Amino acid sequence: MAALTGLEPVAATAPARPPRRAWRWVVFLLAAAYFLIPLGAALWYTIYTPTEGVSFSAYGELLTADGFVQSLLLSLSLAVATIVLVLLLTLPAMLAVRLAAPRLRPVMEVLCTLPLVVPPITFVVGLTTTLKNGGDILAPTPFWATLNAIQDPGFPLVLVLAYVVLVLPFVYRSLDAGLRTMDVRTLVEAARNLGASWPYVVFRVIVPNLRSALASASFLALALVLGEYTVASLLGYQPFAVWIVTISGSKGQLSVAVSILSLVLIWLLLLAVSTAFGKEKKR
């Protein structure tokens, strides 16, 4: 047919597609520049002065700075207590709602995410007002006596309770995402039919399947507690974030050096956890 008409058959050619790999590298480089340029500028500010040149003296002053160790240990202890308390409150409640009352899931979601719409300054004002006026109402109750008995100036329990409320939305979202990836009802029913107790079901069946979600929730809580300033400052306490702001007026290089050091520490912890969970998944 082609010989009769004198026309050569033309092969169909697909339209050219834009190189996706190039766009990925462009987005990656833009994101890297957005995050690394400010960090590089902050690092240069801590190690360079026009009079002395390049010097790492700001990082050498960290361990001897007044209040550095105390504020860091206070923030870490508050973070550990917050993580333990919020997980003990949230995980059993979410399991109970999923197993016994699925219709209450929207109500629980609204209650857990409500702190996101409350400004921190409003939350602190309400908290201080409750602490001032609540003693007249709760003084005869055992709760108020227990709360006063366990209070310690070196470890403010009121900050732990406030941080639990602040981190609740992030912990709920992380655990909810982890629970959505597994059939909780089937796992629980199978374990219970085999004679497992409820503590065994929670700690040996549910928790191992939620390790990634628990790690994400813990590090979100850790980052929030280490960087929270408003609540602690207005209540009159000095954890790590408040200490950084306090010394920023007199020692600017030292405060920026502490911020960079804390950021690097959190990155290393996240890298270690992600590597550990990656090895567990391969096994």
Task: Tell me the pLDDT tens digit for each residue of 225-238.
Answer: 888 888 888 888 88
Confidence of residue 1 (pLDDT cuts 50, 70, 90): very low
Is residue 140 pLDDT above 80, yes or no? no
- Tens of pLDDT, residue by residue over 35-58, are 889 888 888 888 887 777 777 777
Flag whether 108 is in a domain. Answer: yes
CA dihedral 283→172→162→238, nearest 10 degrees, is 40
Flag whether 189 is in a domain. Answer: yes
What is the total count of domains within the chain? 1
Distances (CA, A) of 39 to 51, 255, 258, 259: 22, 14, 13, 10
Is residue 106 pLDDT above 70, yes or no? yes
Q: Mark residue 102 as left, alpha or beta (left: phi above 0; alpha: psi -120 to 50; beta: remaining).
A: alpha
- The pLDDT score that the predictor gives to residue 171 is 92
- Where residue 148 sits, what CATH number does that domain have? 1.10.3720.10
Flag whether 154 is in a domain. Answer: yes
Mean pLDDT calculated for residue range 101-118: 88
Which residue matches tokens 């960090």?
A: 39
Flag whether 187 is in a domain. Answer: yes
pTM, full prediction: 0.77
Is residue 211 pLDDT above 70, yes or no? yes
Question: HSE-up of 29 (CA within 13 Å, CB side)?
Answer: 6
- Which one has a higher pLDDT value, 271 or 109? 109
- The pLDDT score that the predictor gives to residue 247 is 77
Flag whether 6 is in a domain. Answer: no
Is residue 110 pLDDT above 60, yes or no? yes
Flag whether 81 is in a domain. Answer: yes
Flag whether 275 is in a domain. Answer: no
Q: Which domain holds residue 116?
A: 75-239
Flag whether 7 is in a domain. Answer: no
